[in-house]
Every structure is written in structure tokens, then in C-alpha cells.
Amino acid sequence: MGTTDLLISQADRRPMYLQIIEQVRRRIAVGDWPSGYELPSIRALAAGLQVSVITVKRAYLELERDGVIVTRQGRGSCVADSAGLSAGLRHAELDQHLGSAAAVGRSLGLTAEELVARLRDLVAGKDEEQR
């Protein structure tokens, strides 16, 4: 399994780093890259894909922020274990939902503050339900 597993398309107008993130997630979701699998080093991946180092760095940073991968100082990055993975995936899912909510809110003409207040109410309501 090498860097050539990832396919970056020049024709795709989405930013390069997003394509990399998506490809990494797909590999993980499909099972090609199991937990603990060592990702290629940032420079090796950059050379393999012929994209700049800074782009790969950004992709890895976001993947780490989302808990999909874990970076150890001086030892590169590897796929997070299942617990971290699920958390990461669920975080991504949350972002998606929130994004949709924001879009609906905008079309309704709500401001950010109104949207947040709405969310707060809903959270409070859910908490009440759970008690």
C-alpha cells in the first residue's frame, strides 16, 4: 500500500487539501487503512502526489484535529484507534448537520445569534427530556 493509493485529480476544482482528506477518510472507512496504520510521511506523500508539502501538512492537521489520525512527535502519523476514529467521524457528521442548519437558518433570515439561541433551547430541551 503506497502513496499511489491516493488519487488527486487536477480537474477537480475542490482544494487539494480537501481531496487528500477525503481520500484518507475513504481508505479508512473502506478498511484499507486499519487502526494504527502508519500514514506516509508528509514529504513522501507530497512527492508522491506532486503537491506541495504545505498542502499535505494542512490536510494532516485537519485530519488530526478531527481525531481521524494521531501524530506523534518525531514518529509521523497513524490512523487513530476505533474509539478516536468514531469520535472523529461523528465530529465530521456533526459539522455536516450544523452546516445544513446554518444554511436553513440563513434562508430563513436568522442571524448567527438567533441560531445559537435556538440551538441552546434545543439542547436544554433535550437535556430535560433525558432527565
Partner 1 sequence: MSEPVILLDGVEKTYPYFRLTNIALQLDAGQILGFVGPNGAGKSTTLRILMAMVQQDRGTVRVLGRSLPREQAAAKQDIGFVSEDMRLHGSESLAWHMRLVADLCPGWDAAYATALVGRFNLHPEQQVRALSHGERIKAALLLALARRPRLLILDEPTTGLDPVARHEVLAELMDVVQDERRAVLFSSHNTHDVEQISDQIAFIDRGRIVDTGDKETFLDRWRRLRLDVPPGVTLPAAAGVIDTSTSGRQAIVTTRAYAPGFEAGYAAAGVGIHAVERLTLEEIFVATVMHNRRERAA
Beta carbons of 44 and 71 less than 8 angstroms apart: no
Please give the grid coordinates belonging to residue 39.
500514514
Alpha helices in the chain (DSSP H): 16-30, 42-49, 53-65, 82-108, 112-130
Binding span for partner 1 by CB under 8 A among 65-73, 84-92, 106-114, 123-131: 106-114
Does 46 contact partner 1 by CB under 8 A? Answer: yes
- Is residue 69 within a helix (H) or strand (E), and if so which, with residue range? strand 69-72
Give min distance, CB of 29 to partner 1, in A: 25
Q: Does 60 bind partner 1 (CB under 8 A)?
A: no
Which of 3, 5, 22, 44 binds partner 1 (CB under 8 A)? It is 44
What is the residue type of 100?
A: S
State the residues that interact with partner 1 by CB under 8 A. 10, 13, 15-17, 43-44, 46-47, 50-55, 58, 106, 109, 111-112
